[in-house]
Amino acid sequence: MEPLILCSHVNYTYHTLQGETPALCDIDFQVEKGEFVSIVGPSGCGKSTLLSLLCGLLQPESGSVLFQGDPITDTSRARIGYMLQHDHLFEWRSVRKNILLGLEIQKKMSEETKQEADHLLKLYGLYEFKDAKPSQLSGGMRQRAALIRTLLLHPELLLLDEPFSALDYQTRLKVSDDIGSIIRKSGKTAILVTHDLSEAVSLGDRIIILTPPPARIQTIITTDFPKNVSPLGRRNIGIFTEYFNQIWKEMNPNEP
């Protein structure tokens, strides 16, 4: 079957008045439909740049990014959802109006989509807060609202750029478990960038490790957890620590 994303020998350099910053070197991987791929790498190595290329916001300098076999166009970009570190909820809109914003912008608002929005609000425990302002929600609830806004656009691919890093540790565990399970149940394909190695292992079917800048792929690790174990549940399985240590060693080769 054709991969959902095929990234072939991608290079990317930023050209600014201050000079050139090579960001990505010969990045080569593919993502199958339904897969959850985590990407880890040192800060500033090029992870966000890679996501911008995967959704067509940036074009590779050389190499190619194919989405379902074709270069990314405006039409295909509408099938890719991007969720960032900060939830970007607008304080002057209610929670419900915030999650409908994407549909409003894409002119896809209908009775049906509004019903779906309410269904997701109920499903993810936010319905009673639908008229609240974002500041009245906890960090985890805000992140869920941001996810609903993204899911309502029915993306085939979800790109998550450190979406939990603004949360405190305890909340981050819960929200990543929550959101990871939601994404799995909905059968979506997701690519998660994180600097949290445990998060990468608890969520990923595969983990792509990037080198210090400019990013190259150092290794790709495939995880083998029993199906139907939640992201939080994975943390209690023995091989979890093995994967963690393996990634740690890959990223810190000079430490004993």
21 binds, among Mg ion, ligand ADP, none (CB under 5 to 8 A by kind): ligand ADP
**CB-nearer residue toward ligand ADP: 93 or 195:** 195
Q: Which two tokens stand for residue 4?
A: 């959902």
Q: What's the one-letter identity of residue 90?
A: F
Tell me the C-alpha distance between 62 and 169, whole Å: 39
Residue 105 burial (CB < 10 Å; 0-12/13-18/19+)? exposed
Least CB distance to Mg ion at residue 54 (A) = 13
134 binds, among Mg ion, ligand ADP, none (CB under 5 to 8 A by kind): none
8 binds ligand ADP (CB under 6 A): no
Strand pairing class (36-40; 157-161) = unpaired
> Which residue lies nearer to ligand ADP by CB, 28 or 242?
28
Q: Does 49 bind ligand ADP (CB under 6 A)?
A: yes
Least Å distance, CB 42 to Mg ion, is 11
From 46-54, 68-76, 149-157, 229-237, give the range in contact with ligand ADP by CB under 6 A: 46-54
Specify whether the CB–CB gap between 217 and 206 falls below 8 A: no
**Among residues 45 and 146, whose Cβ is nearest to ligand ADP?**
45
For residue 193, the minimal CB distance to ligand ADP (Å) is 7
Q: Distance between CA 196 and CA 224 in Å, rounded?
A: 19
Nearest by Cα to 160 from 7, 41, 48, 5: 48
Smallest distance from ligand ADP to CB 134, Å: 25
Q: Is 208 in the site for ligand ADP (CB under 6 A)?
A: no
Look at residues 240, 165, 236, 164 and name the one whose alpha carbon lies nearest to residue 198: 240
Q: Is 38 in the site for ligand ADP (CB under 6 A)?
A: no
State the alpha helices, DSSP H only, in the chain. 47-54, 74-77, 95-99, 101-105, 111-123, 139-151, 169-185, 197-203, 231-234, 238-251
Is residue 16 at the binding interface for ligand ADP, with CB under 6 A as the rule?
yes
Residue 244 binds which entry of ligand ADP, Mg ion, none, CB below 5-8 Å type-dependent: none
Minimum Å distance from CB 212 to ligand ADP?
Answer: 10
For residue 73, the minimal CB distance to ligand ADP (Å) is: 23
Phi and psi angles of residue 30, each rounded to the nearest 5 degrees, phi first: -135, 160
Q: Which stretches of the chain bind ligand ADP, using CB under 6 A?
A: 14, 16, 21, 23, 41, 43-49, 213
